[in-house]
Amino acid sequence: MTQTTTQSDANAVRFSGVVKSYGAVRAVNGAELSIGRGETVALLGRNGAGKSTTISLLLGLNEPDAGEVGIFGRTPEQAVRAGLVGAMLQEGSPIPRVTVRELVFFIGSMYPKPMPVAEALALAGLTEFADRRVDKLSGGQTQRVRFAMALAGNPELLLLDEPTAALDVEARRAFWESMRTYADRGNTVVFSTHYLEEADDNADRIVVIDRGRIVADGPGETIKRAAGGSLVSFDLAGMPTEGLSLLPGVAAVEIHGDRARLRSDDSDATVVALAAMGAVRRLEVAPASLEDAFLSLTARESETV
Amino acid sequence: MFEYIKLEMRRTLRDASFVTFGIGMPVLMYLLFTNIGGGQNDDADWKISSMIGMAAYGALGAALGVGTGVASDKSIGWLRQMRIAPLPPTRVVTGRAISGSVTVLPGILAVFLSGALVNGVRLDAWQWGALTLLLWIGALPFTMLGLGNGYRLSAQATGVVNVACLMGLAILGGLWFPVSAFPGWLRRIAEYTPTHRFADLGWATSQGHAPGAATIALMAAWLVVFGSYAVVSYRRSARTA
């Protein structure tokens, strides 16, 4: 019994068999996911893949049709009430006729152990706008206000739904730096994005979601490997293409004109085999980019549907 | 919850148009009703009872109007933001109702002031105090009704539904025309309306006695009904957004 308690406490987030549909569309389809305390996890997927629904379920804004969602061993609603969760939602503009400082202070005041307002404003890069009316800010500044609101309660679990939309390159860099500072304090951070680089650069772990399903889950490296670790390409120079898919390590073959691109789990073995065939003209070996990995993972999923 | 009340009050008082309409409209209507149509009617009782009726009507309008603000807050995602904060729904609704009731007070005071200064209404000091307090507190069920509409409906629909509630309840409750002018069956329905009981709080006071137990009980019952409506609507609101 003690063991069960420790086990559930060890997880910040636990999804088991979660299904959520909107009409005929299964926005989340049987998701199994657990996120440990202190992890920084990216939910990666295209628009409409089910990322926002997942975050809504984590916040208790939506109830799953089936399965269970647990946050620190409680229901999402209990966790929200206890002030354990802070979130930055995607839509919504701040309410008119309050200043940034008033709004951030107010949000913090509802939590048991809020972050000092000055600190939340500094982390979100809003110090100089503290006394501005929230409705008089630009899109990027508004986005930072949302971040400050999410931080204000000093929550153990921070949920960020596409946090860098509307931010320019400079603001983006500053944002991720602040996010990592917050994560480094031992907090759990879950963010959604459709930028692959962002996920790879800022998360310990990437959960790839497509059509409501988790199609891959692991560190950036693992995701790349899952998609076929390397890309071996060479000029065919008129040689026949059949048999290429049978070479050692090869997972997939693409032909573009006179050039063959082989996705390989073991590029060394593939290259040796190609060399034995004499197919080495303009031979290149490149690690699969996360973009390739993502496309291949989500394409594989669509074939099985 | 205290901080929430503070925040919402601040926002309301910074809204110039809301303050102007909340105060200006009932005063204008009171002066029109007592001085233009019934100009030759010098009846002091009518001036008092219509003053109370119009103050009640103004309070009603302001109370329901709180819902319109809530509906526009909902459209920009503020309710969702509140839903993911640790404050439980009952406290969010209570806090919003209390902060909303601040907007009710200026209208009541302005009508009373114009009653005393323009129409020469004379009442004891305790009566003025009691009237103000009773109408102010008595507006709470209507604030709840307005909130329920605001949490449930879109911003445009809330405006329309609130006006319909306001007109319907005001006429049925006898705030515009005295209930004594109603046919018997309608009078019996009118007795149970929250608006009639609301105005009764004031009429009883102006006649120098405390409102009856039936009035207090009915107002409390309406507060529970509209209060539950507001809480249920609030709980539902974030999901559909």
Interface of B to A at Cβ within 8 Å reads: 3-4, 6-7, 10-11, 14-15, 73, 76-78, 80-81, 83-88, 238-239
Q: What is the DSSP string of chain A?
A: -HHHHHHHHHEEEEEEEEEEEETTEEEEEEEEEEEETT-EEEEE--TTSSHHHHHHHHHTSS--SEEEEEETTB-HHHHHHTT-EEEE-SS--PPSS-BHHHHHHHHHHTSSSPPPHHHHHHHTT-GGGTTSBGGGS-HHHHHHHHHHHHHTT--SEEEEESTTTT--HHHHHHHHHHHHHHHHTT-EEEEEES-HHHHHHH-SEEEEEETTEEEEEE-HHHHHHHT-SEEEEEE-TT---TTGGGSTTEEEEEEETTEEEEEES-HHHHHHHHHHHT--TT-EEEEPPHHHHHHHHHHHHHHH-
Q: Where are the domains of chain B?
A: 2-240
B189-212 as b/e, with b when 16 or more CB fall inside 10 Å?
Answer: ebbebbbbbbbbbbbbbbeeeebe
Residue A3 has pLDDT above 50, yes or no: no
The model's pLDDT over A20-73, given as tens digits with 9 standing for 90+, comes to 998 888 888 888 899 999 999 999 988 888 898 999 999 998 889 999 999 999
Residue A175: what pLDDT?
94
Q: Where are the domains of chain A?
A: 37-65+75-224, 228-287
Mean pLDDT, chain A, rounded, equals 87
Residue A186: what pLDDT?
93
Q: Does domain A37-65+75-224 have CATH number 3.40.50.300?
A: yes
**Contacts by B194-197 with C-beta closer than 8 Å and gap 24+?**
B194/B141, B194/B142, B194/B169, B194/B218, B194/B219, B194/B222, B194/B226, B195/B56, B195/B60, B195/B169, B195/B170, B196/B172, B197/B173, B197/B222
Mean pLDDT of B169-191: 86
Mean pLDDT of B167-186: 85
Residue A74's pLDDT band (boundaries 50, 70, 90)?
very high
Residue B68 has pLDDT above 90, yes or no: no
Which bin fits B208, alpha (ψ -120 to 50), beta or left (φ > 0)?
Answer: left
Residue A125 has pLDDT above 80, yes or no: yes
CA of A90 to nearest chain B CA: how many angstroms apart?
10
Residues of B in contact with A107 (CB under 8 A): 85
As a whole number of angstroms, the distance between CA A46 and CA B228 comes to: 41
Residue B88's pLDDT band (boundaries 50, 70, 90)?
very high
* Contact across the interface for A98 and B11, Cβ inside 8 Å: yes
Pick from B2, B5, B6, B81 the residue to mutate for testing the A interface (most A CBs within 10 Å): B81
Give the tokens for residue A186: 């031992």
Pick from A20, A91, A107, A134 the residue to mutate for testing the B interface (most B CBs within 10 Å): A107
**In contact, A256 and A280? CB cutoff 8 Å:** no
Residue A235 has pLDDT above 70, yes or no: yes
Residue A117 has pLDDT above 50, yes or no: yes
Minimal Cβ distance to A93: which of B7, B76, B87:
B76
A85 touches B at CB < 8 Å:
yes
Per the model's pLDDT, the better-predicted residue between A300 and B95 turns out to be: B95
Residue B142: what pLDDT?
94
Residue A302: what pLDDT?
47
Residues of A in contact with B6 (CB under 8 A): 106
Mean pLDDT of B57-75: 87
As a whole number of angstroms, the distance between CA A131 and CA A100 comes to: 6
Distance of CA B8 to the CA centre of its chain: 18
Minimal Cβ distance to A80: which of B7, B86, B239:
B86
A218 touches B at CB < 8 Å:
no
Pick from B12, B84, B103, B234 the residue to mutate for testing the A interface (most A CBs within 10 Å): B84
Residue B36 has pLDDT above 80, yes or no: no
- Select the highest-mean-pLDDT range: A150-159, A270-279, B178-187: A150-159
Residue A6's pLDDT band (boundaries 50, 70, 90)?
very low
* Contact across the interface for A110 and B87, Cβ inside 8 Å: yes
DSSP three-state, residue B141: helix
Residue B140's pLDDT band (boundaries 50, 70, 90)?
very high
As a whole number of angstroms, the distance between CA A298 and CA A47 comes to: 13
- Residue B9's Cβ-side half-sphere holds a number of Cα atoms within 13 Å equal to 14
Minimal Cβ distance to B81: which of A60, A62, A89:
A89
* Contact across the interface for A109 and B3, Cβ inside 8 Å: yes
Closest by Cα among A227, A133, A125 to A170:
A125
A95 touches B at CB < 8 Å:
yes
CA of A93 to nearest chain B CA: how many angstroms apart?
5
Residue A290's pLDDT band (boundaries 50, 70, 90)?
low
* Contact across the interface for A89 and B238, Cβ inside 8 Å: no
Residues of B in contact with A82 (CB under 8 A): 86
Please list, in sequence order, all residues whose beta carbon lies within 8 angstroms of the beta carbon of residue A76, skipping any fewer than 6 positions away: A57, A58, A59, A60, A69, A85
Residues of B in contact with A109 (CB under 8 A): 3
Per the model's pLDDT, the better-predicted residue between A182 and B52 turns out to be: A182
CA of B147 to nearest chain A CA: how many angstroms apart?
17
Residues of A in contact with B87 (CB under 8 A): 110
CA of A118 to nearest chain B CA: how many angstroms apart?
18
Which ipTM was obtained for this model? 0.82
Give the tokens for residue B97: 């109702």
**In contact, A140 and A91? CB cutoff 8 Å:** no
A148 touches B at CB < 8 Å:
no
The model's pLDDT over A238-278, given as tens digits with 9 standing for 90+, comes to 888 888 888 888 888 888 888 988 888 888 888 999 888 88
As a whole number of angstroms, the distance between CA B86 and CA B90 comes to: 12
Residue B108 has pLDDT above 50, yes or no: yes
Residue A8 has pLDDT above 50, yes or no: no
A173 touches B at CB < 8 Å:
no
Residues of B in contact with A96 (CB under 8 A): 11
Residue A145 has pLDDT above 90, yes or no: yes
Q: Does domain A228-287 have CATH number 3.90.470?
A: no
Residue A10 has pLDDT above 50, yes or no: yes
* Contact across the interface for B239 and A62, Cβ inside 8 Å: yes
DSSP three-state, residue B87: coil
- Give whole-number Cα distances, B116 to A294, B27, B112, B121, in Å: 76, 12, 6, 5
Minimal Cβ distance to A95: which of B76, B84, B85:
B76
**In contact, B104 and B139? CB cutoff 8 Å:** yes
Residues of B in contact with A76 (CB under 8 A): none
How many beta carbons lie within 10 A of that of residue A136, not counting itself? 12
Residues of B in contact with A89 (CB under 8 A): 77, 80-81, 84
Residue B184: what pLDDT?
87
